[in-house]
Amino acid sequence: MTLATPTHCPYCSLQCGLNLQQAGGALTVVERPDFPVNRGALCIKGQTSADLLHSAERLTTPLVRDSKSGELRPATWDEALDMVAAALIAAQAKYGTDAVGVFGGGSLTNEKAYQLGKFARVALRTSTIDYNGRFCMSSAAAANLRAFGLDRGLPFPLEDIAGTDCILLIGSNLAETMPPAQRYFTEQRERGGSLIVVDPRATPTARNATLHLQPLPGTDLALALGLIHIAVQKGYIDQPFIDERTTGWPQVQAISMEYMPHRVERITGVPAKQLYEAARLIGEAPTGMVLTARGAEQHSKGTDTVSAWINLALALGKAGRAHCGYGCLTGQGNGQGGREHGQKADQLPGYRKIDDPVARAYVAGVWGVDPNSLPGPGPSAYELLDSLGEPSGVRALLVMGSNPVISAPRAAHIEAKLRRLDCLIVADYFMSETAAIADVVLPSAQFAEEDGTMTNLEGRVIRRNKAVPPPSGSRTDLEILAELAKRLGHTEGFSSQPELVFEELRRASAGGPADYAGITYARIDAEYGVFWPCPEESHPGTPRMFEERFNTADGRARFVPVTHRAAAEEPDSEYPIWFTTGRVMAQYQSGTQTRRVDRLNEASPEAFVEMHPRLAKSLGITDGETVRVISRRGWVEVKVRIVSSIRPDLVFMPFHWGGKGRANSLTNPALDPTSRMPEFKLCAVRIERLVTTTD
Ligand code: SF4
């Protein structure tokens, strides 16, 4: 009999179910049609994910930087862990507790994210902890909290999308980034529904839409206000819903009156006729959903932009009832759970606020420590990285599940800062670009080599099951944290057993907004996941939220008054072209995993820059030519792809590669004032040819 282990894809927030099957001594991916989210479908990344388990590039020995040669050399676990503990203790003794920082990731399991937060607050007593999820969807999280009093990416199961009459999708290319989710959109269209896509690029997702709005990047906020304006003008507003279930409409309505269609056309570049058509499609539809992703969120005004889209959903009465609602399509595998259990700078487990005295007392009780010993909120991800090596900043940093050399904005600046640290420690399973410059590299286990839970974009808590033991010489992140905690004087309280950590997480989250108290490993297995909040084992979980009331004190959703403002950096005579970033189907995030898979590299071997034929012609550039793209922060050298699917004033680059193809060498770290998310989606560049011609 062939053995198969049901588990989940190691990549994006859809967390597609798959089976890993032993065949001839190796594991292969086979369909898992019973898992309801993807019903067996996988994109090329999921299909090839078992290759990660057999990769010859796996790290299997701790490495330490030799003080004489300056090179990384193999070490024993004891030597490496002793070195790490000594460096952390020395940095804190010399510079204070906050001089040791912790940087986590949105791909870590719930157990690891929880334990990492506890490790920082209890074992290190540092406030300096944040994670790369801050780069992913923190603007939507902040807007969700403002409007609904709770942040869960989708407040409904993905399958509900198939039953809605109109979808307004902003800044997502899910046909390429999340292909198995496409089936719900296809079903929706087959039922006669409509799809409006807002994207400056005519992506495969946009090309399939009923209507594609192609605004100037960074103008979505004005676009949303313009649609509210038209909705008022045309009588699409759902006044009974507004009166019964919301507060704050008059202010938002008054602001929207300033966004006349011709003005919005001037700001966004979207013809007024298309604005009317979009407002009509969603305004006249009996049910509708508004969904945002990174295109709306990764801006210095991302929170306000998402608030504007939520305002539109509320004004149309398309929230808090069946087949209606606002949702965010989370990016990273555990982008949702990763921000609920304490690795975010301002949070304690259960999505509790770290500056709330009641929350502090409760969690300190679970942890068996004095509430006064818990640090307060720390700096956000970019601010943490920008403080590295500074006199009052971080001097020693533990990175777990992240590759900021590739993924941080203004990446060359951040890389230089990482190199200046007294001690950089990286736990990873491949030699990422960040691990390559570390002082200590700790080889860790990856998906399918350890148990744990993830929370997908729907708020569904699922199990990642272990199918094989980790390779000899590596350890799980939980084992690493337990060993380090021991060396810092905490012989108890840091279990390396995932289920025991999850049991503690359940207690720590009990009563919090993201309440996992009623979720057990056994239930997850039996029910294909359990949706939080789930306060008791007898509770069915909460697939659909807000149908009775929103999570605010009065149960009403809040309209948030917001107005359009310019991007932090706009094109000028020196840098005349807009620049934006995103993903391609066959690579994922910083590429630490996907760049190790042959089939993925064959499909997407290198970085490139997309530009419109008109722009290419004006610059004398030909398809396939290598050009230099320069911003105020750095430069890249990449091949050109000439495509008519992009606006002529904009160029696009995927961000999965390093070296001369590192898109984040160019990006602007201007932060959203609320979410502290950087403006990855927009900056100004100029393009130079590397060859000169005589004609
Ligand atoms: Fe994996 Fe996401 Fe692809 Fe599904 S859509 S197979 S979760 S990368």
25: left (phi over 0), alpha (psi -120 to 50) or beta: left
Q: What is the mean pLDDT of residues 567-577?
A: 96
104 DSSP β-pair partners: 131
Q: CB–CB of 594/287 below 8 Å?
A: no
Query: Is 670's pLDDT higher than 50?
Result: yes
Q: Work out the pLDDT band at 330, boundaries 50, 70, 90.
A: confident
Please give the distance, rounded to the nearest whole angstrom, from the Cα atom of residue 145 to the centre of ligand 1: 27
Rg (CA), the chain: 24
Question: From the CA of 182, how far away is ligand 1's center (Å)?
Answer: 11
Q: Does residue 329 have its Cβ closer than 6 Å to ligand 1?
A: no
Q: How remote is the CA of residue 11 from the centroid of ligand 1, in Å?
A: 6
Quick one: which atom of ligand 1 is closest to the CA of 333? 7
**Ligand 1, atom 2, residue with closest C-alpha:** 12
Q: Which amino acid is at 50?
A: A
Would the pLDDT of 16 be above 70? yes
pLDDT attached to residue 136:
83
Q: How far is Cα 463 from Cα 454, in angstroms, rounded to an integer? A: 6
Burial 652-679 (b: 16+ CB within 10 A, else e): bbbbbbbeebbbbbbbbbbbbebbbbbb
From residue 593, alpha-carbon distances to 46, 466, 467, 590 in Å are: 12, 18, 18, 8
Q: How far is the CA of 198 from the centre of ligand 1 (A)?
A: 23
Atom 6 in ligand 1: which residue has the minimum CA distance? 46
**Residue 657, Cα to own-chain centre: how many angstroms?**
18
CA of 43 to the centre of ligand 1 (A): 6
In this prediction, residue 695 has a pLDDT band, given cuts at 50, 70 and 90, of very low
Percent over 90 (pLDDT), the chain:
92
Q: How far is the CA of 585 from the centre of ligand 1 (A)?
A: 10
Cα–Cα distance for residue pair 460/543, rounded to 1 Å:
8
Q: How much is the average pLDDT of 525-539?
A: 96
> CB within 8 A of 618, min separation 6: which ones?
none
pLDDT digits (tens, 9 = 90+) for 576-634: 999 999 888 899 988 899 999 999 999 999 999 999 999 999 999 999 999 999 999 99
Is residue 180 in contact with ligand 1, taking CB distance under 6 Å? yes
pTM of the complete model: 0.95
pLDDT in tens, 252-263: 999 999 999 999
- Reply yes or no on whether the pLDDT at 2 is more than 80: no
**Atom number in ligand 1 closest to CA 47:** 6
Q: 672: CA distance to ligand 1 center in Å?
A: 29
**Element housing 115 (H / E):** helix 110-118
Q: In the predicted model, what is the mean pLDDT of the chain?
A: 95
Q: Is the CB of 15 under 6 A from ligand 1?
A: yes
C-beta 11 within 6 A of ligand 1? yes
CA of 193 from ligand 1 middle (Å) equals: 25
| Average pLDDT, integer, range 647-663 | 95
Statement: residue 26 has pLDDT above 90: no
Neighbours of 244 (CB within 10 A): 11
**Ligand 1 pocket member 650 (CB < 6 A):** no
SS3 content of the chain, % helix, strand, coil (to 5): 35, 20, 45
Nearest-atom index, ligand 1, CA of 178: 5
What's the burial of 191, exposed, middle or buried (CB within 10 Å: 0-12/13-18/19+)? Answer: exposed
Q: What's the CA gap between 436 and 406, in Å, rounded? A: 12
| Nearest C-alpha neighbor of 546 from the set 288, 289, 326 | 326
pLDDT digits (tens, 9 = 90+) for 209-225: 999 999 998 999 999 99
The mean-pLDDT minimum among 132-146, 239-253, 380-394, 537-551 falls in 132-146
Token pair listed for 652: 């696009």
State the maximum Cα–Cα separation within the chain, in Å, rounded to a whole number.
78
3-state SS, residue 37? coil
Mutate to test the pocket of ligand 1, among 8, 14, 456 (most ligand atoms within 8 A of CB): 14
- Domains along the chain? 4-54 (2.20.25), 63-135+334-531 (3.40.50.740), 138-328 (3.40.228.10), 577-689 (2.40.40.20)
For the segment 333-361, the average pLDDT, to the nearest whole number, is: 93
At 389 the pLDDT is: 94
Q: Look up tokens 């993924």; give the residue.
A: 407
Ligand 1 centre to CA of 463 (Å) is: 15
42 CB under 6 A from ligand 1? yes
Q: Which of 19, 56, 26 is nearest to 429 (CA)?
A: 56
Query: Is ligand 1 within 6 A of the CB of residue 12?
Result: yes
Amino acid at 660: K
Per-residue pLDDT of 365-400, as tens digits, reads 999 999 999 999 999 999 999 999 999 999 999 999
How remote is the CA of residue 171 from the centroid of ligand 1, in Å? 18
CA of 78 to the centre of ligand 1 (A): 37
| The pLDDT of residue 339 | 86
Which residue out of 172, 178, 583 has the highest number of ligand 1 atoms within 8 Å of its CB and is therefore the one to mutate? 178
Whose Cα sits closest to atom 3 in ligand 1?
43
Q: Which is it for strands 577-582 and 650-654: parallel, antiparallel or unpaired?
A: parallel
Whether ligand 1 lies within 6 angstroms of the CB of 46 is answered as yes
* Closest residue CA from atom 5 of ligand 1: 178
Pocket test for ligand 1, best of 13, 42, 51 (most atoms within 8 A of CB): 42
What's the CA gap between 167 and 174, in Å, rounded?
A: 13
Cβ 580 vs Cβ 681: under 8 Å: yes
Q: How many CA atoms lie within 13 A of 515 on its CB side?
A: 16
Which pair of tokens denotes residue 326?
A: 């606002």
Sorting pLDDT into bands at 50, 70 and 90, what band is 692?
low
Q: In sequence order, which residues have a C-beta less than 8 Å from that of residue 186 and are 6 or more positions away?
A: none
Are 514 and 128 a contacting pair, CB within 8 Å?
Answer: no
pLDDT tens digits for range 462-496: 999 999 999 999 999 999 999 999 999 999 999 99
Ligand 1 atom at minimum distance from 9 CA: 1
